[in-house]
A and B are shown apart, each in its own frame.
Chain A
Amino acid sequence: MRLPLLARRTHKWLALVVGLQVVLWTLTGLYMTAVHIDIIHGDHFVRTPKEQPVDVSTLVEPSILASRFPGLQTVQLTRFMEKPAYVLQSSSGFALVDATSGQTLSPIDETKARALARHWYAGEGDIVRVDLITKVPLEVQTRPVPLWRVEFEGWDKPTFYFSPLTGEMIARRHELWRLFDFMWMFHIMDYDDRTDVNNPLLRTATVLAVLMSATGLWLLLYSFPKRKRKKSKAKA
């Protein structure tokens, strides 16, 4: 077989096999590059907390916490709705404690979850639904349950996930994130968990794409005939 013919045949047959996936790669890649990652992460609808100094002499001593929570491992001083609070990790799990009064705040109930969501939300809209979820949805698949899921109104359905045990924001999602994740699924060809970047299907398809683009470049060598080139030069 003549070389140009071989190049053309291999290029078009490879394209027949992997062409649709290459289209998907370019379109999903285009979305992921064109929409800035900070927007995808939802930075714009979360308030930035102000750092305020704490007078530690007003706080409950960690030694008292150690006697109240057997097997205490870590104590973190943060803020829960502006007020100083401790996130504790002990042998019985996580807990949230008011750092001034010592009152246990966890598990957080629905009223507090709503207030917490309002506190963090930088947008204008109202809360449309609040759920305590025990089965983890795909969009927060790596996080431990239970979680408070708070959704706000709006076309992009901003959603916060809070831990009922620590009051911390575990994740934030919105429609552009969900679309990104959907694109990512096609990009890495893991249609189940959307996480495995080493799956056999992806490995096979990427190798075929290398061959397809390489034969495409090879084919370019024969795609601009010399005769024509001379003619156009003469014209110029």
Chain B
Amino acid sequence: MPFMMLLRRLHKWVGLVLGVQLLLWAVSGTMMALLDHHEVAGEHTYRTPAMSEVVQPLPLAAVQAGLPGAEIVGFKLRPMLGGHVYEVKTSDGIRLVGPEGRPITVDAELAKTVAKAEYAGDGKVSSAVRLTEPTLEARGRPLPLWRVDFDDSKATTFYVAESTAQVVEHRTDTWRVWDFFWMLHIMDYSGRESFNHPLIITVATGIAWVALTGFTLLFVSFRRMDFEWVLDLGERLRRRKKR
């Protein structure tokens, strides 16, 4: 059967070139299936901050006075650490205005306090570092960010946005392991973000070929003798029943 011969050869050769990536896809896929996604998302590391009732909110004129010259585009009056703050969207970024009408600057102390208030683990804050350059762990989040580390067994890290004083990311070692395999799976070795790039599309096309040829070859790869042990087993069971 020359056509099947050709398929077998192509299966072999494309497999030789791309087989390692198939193995990496299978291994990384297995790891992501094994790592519990609640753990990966760090759901057990934090609690959602409690809601509280708005009491005597700051008048809007005082909000505007707290941000002289700022063009207000929108705002959110929301709870923060027991009180309410205005998170104001201006035409040049987000600013926070506190209950007394003063802009709030998110420093290391405030970042730690916010992180601690949401933390549900058994560790203590070990450090708070201000980040101005993009990092893999908090990719896609607006900078600057406060990186607040906890000394628990999962090496939990909370990322607090400097503009809003909100925890925007919860990372643990489980996530870090998961993220490594995610990188292998999507083949984006620098950003770990995009799965729509030419490399992965090319390799996936090749591997689809390997899979399809392999699947076709299954139909000619089994002889009756391959199934003899199954037939034997069936025969034996039948005999046992008769007895």
- Report which A residues bind B (CB closer than 8 A): 12, 15-16, 19-20, 22-23, 25-27, 29-30, 32-37, 51-54, 56-57, 59, 61-63, 66, 71-79, 89, 197-199, 202-203, 206-207, 209-210, 212-214, 216-217, 220, 223-224
Contact = CB atoms under 8 A, between A and B. Distances in A.
A22 B74 contact: no
A51 B195 CA distance: 31
A132 B71 CA distance: 37
Contacts of B195: 32-33, 37
B136 interface: no
A27 B206 CA distance: 11
Contacts of B68: none
Contact of B196 (A23, A37, A76, A209): A37
B114 to A, nearest CB: 17
Contacts of B71: 53
B64 to A, nearest CB: 5
A36 B196 contact: yes
Interface residues of B, number: 58
A23 B60 contact: no
B132 interface: no
A54 B61 CA distance: 12
Contact of A54 (B20, B25, B73, B79): B73
B54 A73 contact: yes
B76 A77 contact: yes
A73 B53 contact: yes
A202 B22 CA distance: 17
A90 to B, nearest CB: 9
Contact of B59 (A15, A61, A206): A61
Contacts of B52: 73
A51 B91 CA distance: 8
B126 interface: no
A198 B23 contact: no
A213 B51 contact: no
A60 to B, nearest CB: 9
A62 B37 contact: no
B204 interface: yes
Nearest to B12: A223
B200 interface: yes
Given A51-B91, A56-B61, A206-B30, A62 B54 contact: yes
Interface in B27-80: 27, 29-30, 32-37, 51-57, 59-61, 63-64, 71-79
21 contacts: A16-B222, A23-B215, A25-B29, A29-B25, A30-B204, A33-B201, A53-B72, A56-B72, A73-B79, A76-B77, A76-B78, A77-B76, A198-B33, A198-B35, A198-B36, A202-B33, A206-B30, A209-B29, A210-B27, A220-B15, A220-B19
